[in-house]
Structure 1
Amino acid sequence: MNNIGIILCKQEKYDEALDYHQRALEVQEKHCSSCQNEISNSLNHIGNVLIEQKKYDEALKFYQRALETQEKYYRNSHVEIAATLDNLGTTCRLQKRFIEAIEYHPKALEIQEKYYPSNCVIISNTMNRIGHVLYNERKYDEAIHYYRRALSMQEKSYPDGHIETSHTLNSIGSALYEQKKFDEALQFYQKSLTIQETYHELLHIDIARSLNSIGNVLYSQEKYDEAIHFYQRSLDIREKFNPFSDIGIATVLGNIGRALYEQRKYDEAIDFHLRALTFREKFDTTNHDDIVDSLRNIANTLSEQEKYDEAMEFQQRALMIREHHYHSDHVNIAYIRPTGTGNPRKRLPIESC
């Protein structure tokens, strides 16, 4: 039953997958209570499905049960325990509980380094996870240290390149980008893209993400025509790959709008921001912050055209959303200010996706 559940999970049929894993767990606990290894595997499988459903609190409970079961079953540290520790760390990171996450992953790494060869992909994956937590904590130098260690292992395991290598290159690029080391970031993003274009079909989402990342670097370097070229390539892939539910489409539309804004092509910029807003209001209705960002981008652009009444309408819509979803003294409400003749022109931040 667990094997069926794994296949269903890969097919994104999460409710069905969960049912099979829960049935497997029920049978194991009823008829084979001594099969602690199989029980812990089922608990982990359930946690994995719940992660895909973004039910992080529930997933955490199942992973913790799996860990407790494994620690009773294995007298000493074991690779199965390391896998569960990694799952716990990843869940905590997704919940932005970075202090807890950074406790779990090094414990997993310590076990893995005892049981696996030094260049094992499993070890490099855990190093990447540690890097992700440090990145989220904005400890970019430390994150890059772990990413580079992971990359070194992957390049030895896959001398001709591999998708996992491209992901690590992207991670290093993102950390360098946050440090405003744009030339170095661009090199890593381009290396990642080269590998992805070799191993993926041309319409793969990984390629679209890399193209957007390259666009972000070029935007930050004020190379707006080049940035728009890469954003447009990213958008073309996303619209062909998954035109109705890929939230990244709105992100890239917004990024093109921002680049056009910097070129003072305001009518074109508004068109892209309106498309981003329409997409978000239709397909991402609960993401209030991004909807507000689209409204504010439109308002700022209208203000540059001295269309202050129209700009005020979009600012008021943004303010209404914020007031509805935040406490009256929340910083995000204070952040929205009326648009008028006295406001200086401001550069709009771009987004990753």
Structure 2
Amino acid sequence: MLGNLTKNKGDYELSIQWFKKAIQINTIENQNLIENYNIIGDLYIKIDDPKRAIEYYNKTLILLIKIFNEDHPELVVCLNNIAIAYKNEKKYHKALEYHEKALTILEKHPLIHQSDIAILHNYIGIIQRHLGYFNLALEHYQYALEICKYSFSSSYIDIAKTLKNMSIVYEDKNELEQSLLCLKKAATIYQDILSPIHADMIEIEEKIQYILVQLK
């Protein structure tokens, strides 16, 4: 209770201490312990301590494997959390390893987890871009795009975000016309669902103008 209260107030370090006390009181390996470990991991991310976050996400993962198994979809969120923490540490190969583990699990249940698979391809694309593997990044974004187009559980926003990610990679490759094309497609989607003063709408319009200037 106090852990959640202090978390909601934004006092993350104090919240961590309360959740750790809760763990000391209740050491039974159950759902509550899993949730507490995971929350502590999330809180360490919020205070920019990914190393400690990984420590608690790993505790979460160990318990999840005990309760379920090594390839159960319940592990996916935790695997992605670990990957994101490694990304924050700029340990991109480790981040890629955990995102790929999560993707392998979800691909065993493709019809149920289509939108989540698309999200994972986006995550992997982002990591591949950081590693400088631009073509591999684009391949994953293309996978995500195709899934989003035919998945009822995906939204137009998901498509727009994927197109924005693709535009960044094309800009990295100095393929500015392709970057502009992706941005314009994303902007068209945003125009249908966002107000003109929405932050995402403003951002993409500014990016389009920036690329247009570069092309002159």
Shorter chain as normaliser: what TM range?
Answer: 0.7 to 0.9
Q: 1:68 offset after TM fit, Å?
A: 2.0
Q: 1:112 offset after TM fit, Å?
A: 1.1
Q: Deviations over 1:250-269 (max 9, x none)?
A: xxxxxxxxxxxxxxxxxxxx
Provide the rounded CA distance (Å) in 1 between the counterparts of 2:112 and 2:144. 11
Q: 1:83 offset after TM fit, Å?
A: 1.4
Match of 1:146 in 2: 140
Q: 1:94 offset after TM fit, Å?
A: 2.0
Distance 1:156 1:4, change over 3 A: farther
Is the Cα contact below 8 Å between 2:64 and 2:74 reproduced in 1?
A: yes
* 2:14 is equivalent to residue 14 of structure 1: no
Provide the rounded CA distance (Å) in 2 between the counterparts of 1:208 and 1:50. 32
The match for 1:128 among 97, 118, 122 is: 122
Distance 1:25 1:194, change over 3 A: farther
- Aligned positions of 1:176-215 closer than 5 A: 176-215=170-209
Q: 1:208 offset after TM fit, Å?
A: 2.9
* 2:170 is equivalent to residue 168 of structure 1: no
Compare relative contact order (CA 8 Å, sep 6+) and give the higher one, 1 or 2: 2
Q: 1:158 offset after TM fit, Å?
A: 5.0
Is the Cα contact below 8 Å between 1:2 and 1:42 reproduced in 2?
A: no
Distance 1:4 1:207, change over 3 A: farther
State the SS of the aligned residue for 1:77.
Answer: coil
* 2:8 is equivalent to residue 34 of structure 1: no
Provide the rounded CA distance (Å) in 1 between the counterparts of 2:82 and 2:42. 10
Match of 2:210 in 1: 216
Q: 1:103 offset after TM fit, Å?
A: 0.9
Q: 1:119 offset after TM fit, Å?
A: 6.1
Is the Cα contact below 8 Å between 1:4 and 1:17 reproduced in 2?
A: no
Match of 1:85 in 2: 79
Unaligned runs of 5+ in 2: none
**Alignment RMSD:** 2.8
Distance 1:159 1:121, change over 3 A: closer
Is the Cα contact below 8 Å between 2:160 and 2:185 reproduced in 1?
A: yes
Distance 1:23 1:215, change over 3 A: same
Provide the rounded CA distance (Å) in 1 between the counterparts of 2:2 and 2:116. 22
Q: Deviations over 1:137-163 (max 9, x none)?
A: 111110000001011111112599521
Greater radius of gyration (CA): 1
Distance 1:200 1:115, change over 3 A: same
Is the Cα contact below 8 Å between 1:112 and 1:123 reproduced in 2?
A: yes
Provide the rounded CA distance (Å) in 1 between the counterparts of 2:199 and 2:13. 24
> TM-score scaled by structure 2?
0.85
Match of 2:95 in 1: 101
Q: Deviations over 1:163-195 (max 9, x none)?
A: 122111100111111112111111111111222
Is the Cα contact below 8 Å between 1:14 and 1:53 reproduced in 2?
A: no
Match of 1:54 in 2: 48
Provide the rounded CA distance (Å) in 2 between the counterparts of 1:18 and 1:195. 42
Provide the rounded CA distance (Å) in 2 between the counterparts of 1:168 and 1:162. 10
Match of 2:67 in 1: 73
Provide the rounded CA distance (Å) in 2 between the counterparts of 1:78 and 1:159. 21
Distance 1:159 1:87, change over 3 A: closer
Aligned pair count?
215
The share of aligned pairs that are identical, in percent, is 22
Is the Cα contact below 8 Å between 1:18 and 1:49 reproduced in 2?
A: no
